[in-house]
Amino acid sequence: MKTLKNWTLQKQAAHHVELLVDGQHTLCLYVLEERLFRVLLKHKGELALDRTWSIAPREDVPWEGRSRDDVSGFTLPAWTLTQQANTLVMESAQLRVTVHQPLWLEWHYRDDAGKWQWLAGDRPTSAYLVNAHGDGVAHYLSRKKEERFYGLGEKAGNLQRNGLRYEMRNLDAMGYNAASTDPLYKHIPFTLTRRDDISYGLFYDNLSSCWLDLGNEIDNYHTAYRRWQAEAGDIDYYIFTGARALDVTKAFVRLTGKTLFGPKWSLGYSGSTMHYTDAPDAQNQLMNFIRLCEEHAIPCDSFQLSSGYTSINGKRYVFNWNYDKVPQPKVMSQAFHDAGLKLAANIKPCLLQDHPRYNEVAEKGLFIRDSECDAPERSSFWDDEGSHLDFTNPQTVAWWQDGVTTQLLEMGIDSTWNDNNEFEVWDGEARCQGFGREIAIKHIRPVMPLLMMRASMEAQQRFAPQKRPYLISRSGCAGMQRYVQTWSGDNRTNWDTLRYNTRMGVGMSLSGLYNVGHDVGGFSGDKPDAELFVRWVQNGVMHPRFTIHSWNDDCTVNEPWMYPAITPAIRSAIELRYRLLPYLYTLLWQAHADDEPILRPTFLDHEHDPQTFEECDDFLLGRDILVASVVEAGQRERRVWLPANDSGWYDFYSGTWYAPGQWVALDAPLETLPLLVRAGAGLPMSERISHVDAKADNTRELKLFPLKGTGRSHGLLFEDDGESWGYKDGNALWLEWEMVCSGSTVDLQVHTRGDYRPAWQTLKVTLPAGNKRQLLINGVAATEWMLS
């Protein structure tokens, strides 16, 4: 690749400037927000891809993509431009970029005292490289010792990414090593860089396969650097600052789109296994799951049909029901609905070459086409070859939505599980219809799963317009949070996976994917032993997505009752999740409305505490619950660092208060997940329920954990019917509370807004055991509050 060097100012427009580089390339610098700038390079004045599907600052993008020249949705603040002999300075009120000659950029931010401070900079030697023939681009930044790198979405290993190289190339990484396998399923070239004084985000809006080196590579001819390199496409990146790492994560979500607010039942336990639908009597196996949940008193809200229901001779054929296995899909669906359970069905975007409808789809031109002829591309898929559907073709979208509607929704299926959608089409020049403007697959591979899930979502919305949709997708790119819940794919059963999946989930959350989880118990390998299974379930119930799913090598199936001796411990963990559903649902609302992460590394709310940046197995569920999962065999005591805050922490179970900023050793018998709660928090909780049912959910407790001294804290409980769009018109309940603590009283001030009235009428308020202060509610001694 060739280094770009010399530039001249070519044009100053309302919201950007254009530089002519080496007499042939155009470098555009945009001021989009006071703290958000954009850098775009047009190779020889042209873009390899003139559209984006990831940038959605105010509303979703058009199906055909958002023009890269579109600056709508941004505030577009005032800025100034100053040019000197060898520099150009572009400055908003909060962020400044200096363009040096030869070409490299340097960034400064304005601190609280109004002074400009160094933020980041390209390496001064060979910062921007392009391939003379148009394919292949690279960007190099200087790397400082004090920087901590996070993000990159779904990645194996530790949460901090320093010193490693990562690849973005969506793969079906069956049985991956959660500590080391790379690449995996998702494409999110976003890094969050944290320093003591400032944090900033860097997002490369390029959808081709790429690499990010965060200090693995060194070169004697250059200062320490970090590198992003893509096999094709454009250099197009967004840089934005935040006082805290949390601000950067939230800004990235605002850049790429709001988190989908799914139905409440999506937070319940979802059963799944390949064993049932692969069995010759799949319908009986599935119906038996309902009975077993009742027999073992396991709360459950849904079941995910693995792809075996579509099989012909062991292979998978989307939109094909195997009526030998499932002779009565509608009867089966109704049985699940009668039991209060929803059904999600696995669907795949590739048709095997002997699919019953392959020729029909090929004749309609709905597949991605080969690079050298108009025949469908052929790729390896499920022990055969098949062709991938082209979701940039509106006719393909219509065909897909018809299949979702007639073969699933009309059969009683409630949701789609969009799976095996990595689009491993390795003929990079294979052609996509591009909504009328042909695009090579190498430029948009991760967009295909994004459009697939969007097609599924819109079909569900049309079929049931009064209900909020729930979908799942394994693969995707930045922006997928607008449509789906996701998970970490086909993990392998062992203790290391339990440990590193936790870090993987927190890493996804830092990268804007808030609604995440893992295959609890492990997907591949032999079944988990009893101890590992208990600890995995205890960990899993503290994630937004909680699914026990498996395809075990030893032909067993992971089920809550698989080990009778520990079934009570499994039941207890799942019951705890259901008791916490009001808290989890409020977190989902805040993720959607306020861009607040649900899973949080402990440093996200405690950046002043250096210990929280050390790699650990702890995480926060919301701001208030500190989850200290046991991830080592035989461990019956858990050493936990209590992040330094102003109020301390309570043991969730005993109510014991601990001072912050210290190590404590908590008892961790097999049946107990160590949990702590931030002092000043209030956890909304319910009584035991078997599944989400707004009409039957008629009790509510606010479990207060008061400040030890004096002070105030506040919180929110969100309630609605759990599935409609009524909240948009005020048909929801926002219960806002403030807790005022004095030496003798704990006074809970309660305020409500919204028209919705839940089945519960009385809010029971409790304090930890041993509390000696008087409880007041709105200034009056009471232990209950009536909802008017």
Give residue-wise pLDDT tens across range 343-366: 999 999 999 999 999 999 999 999
Domain count, the chain: 4
State mean pLDDT over 395-417. Answer: 98
Residue that finishes a domain, picked among 483, 517, 539: 483
Pair (286, 347) in one structural domain: yes
State mean pLDDT over 15-30. Answer: 97
Query: HSE of 466 in the Cβ direction (CA atoms, 13 Å)?
Result: 1
* pLDDT for the residue numbered 617: 98
Pair (245, 264) in one structural domain: no
Pair (183, 271) in one structural domain: no
Contact at 8 Å (CB) between 562 and 276?
no
Read off the CATH number of the domain in which 240 is found.
Answer: 2.60.40.1760
State the chain's mean pLDDT as an integer: 97
Pair (698, 652) in one structural domain: no
* pLDDT for the residue numbered 445: 98
State mean pLDDT over 13-30. Answer: 97
Looking at the predicted structure, is the pLDDT value of residue 688 above 90?
Answer: no
* pLDDT for the residue numbered 377: 98
Residue that finishes a domain, picked among 422, 449, 483: 483
Give residue-wise pLDDT tens across range 154-203: 999 999 999 999 999 999 999 999 999 999 999 999 999 999 999 999 99
* pLDDT for the residue numbered 683: 98
* pLDDT for the residue numbered 288: 98
Which CA distances in Å does 581 have to 244, 443, 571, 586? 29, 41, 15, 8
Pair (146, 261) in one structural domain: no
State mean pLDDT over 707-730. Answer: 97
User: What DSSP element (H or E) covers 303?
Assistant: strand 302-305
Give residue-wise pLDDT tens across range 204-219: 999 999 999 999 999 9
Looking at the predicted structure, is the pLDDT value of residue 96 above 80?
Answer: yes
- Asked if residue 544 is part of any domain, the answer here is no
Read off the CATH number of the domain in which 453 is found.
Answer: 3.20.20.80
* pLDDT for the residue numbered 383: 87
In sequence order, what are the residues at sequence separation of 6 or more whose Cβ sits closer than 8 angstroms to the Cβ of residue 413? 305, 333, 343, 344, 345
Pair (262, 217) in one structural domain: no
- Asked if residue 200 is part of any domain, the answer here is yes
Degrees, nearest 5: CA angle 707-710-716? 50
Contact at 8 Å (CB) between 302 and 545?
no
* pLDDT for the residue numbered 547: 98
What is the rounded (10 degree) CA torsion for 769, 772, 777, 779?
Answer: -170
* pLDDT for the residue numbered 788: 85
Token pair for 146: 């004090």
- Asked if residue 346 is part of any domain, the answer here is yes
Say whether pTM exceeds 0.95. Answer: yes
Q: How confident is the model at residue 703 (pLDDT cuts 50, 70, 90)?
A: very high
Give residue-wise pLDDT tens across range 755-777: 999 999 999 999 999 899 999 99
* pLDDT for the residue numbered 337: 98
State mean pLDDT over 40-64. Answer: 97
- Asked if residue 338 is part of any domain, the answer here is yes
- Asked if residue 573 is part of any domain, the answer here is no
DSSP annotation string for 430-475: -EE-GGGS-EEHHHHTTHHHHHHHHHHHHHHHHHSTTS---EEESS
Which CA distances in Å does 416 have to 268, 400, 558, 597? 16, 12, 22, 24
Looking at the predicted structure, is the pLDDT value of residue 132 above 90?
Answer: no
Residue that finishes a domain, picked among 483, 506, 521: 483
Looking at the predicted structure, is the pLDDT value of residue 406 above 80?
Answer: yes
State mean pLDDT over 283-300. Answer: 98
86-92, Cβ contacts within 8 angstroms, sequence gap of 24 or more: 88/9, 88/17, 88/19, 90/17, 90/29, 90/31, 90/37, 92/31, 92/33, 92/34, 92/35, 92/37
Q: Which domain holds residue 475?
A: 257-483
Looking at the predicted structure, is the pLDDT value of residue 134 above 80?
Answer: no
Pair (673, 705) in one structural domain: no
Contact at 8 Å (CB) between 321 and 309?
yes
Token pair for 335: 């049985």
Q: How confident is the model at residue 135 (pLDDT cuts 50, 70, 90)?
A: confident
Across-strand partners of 173?
none
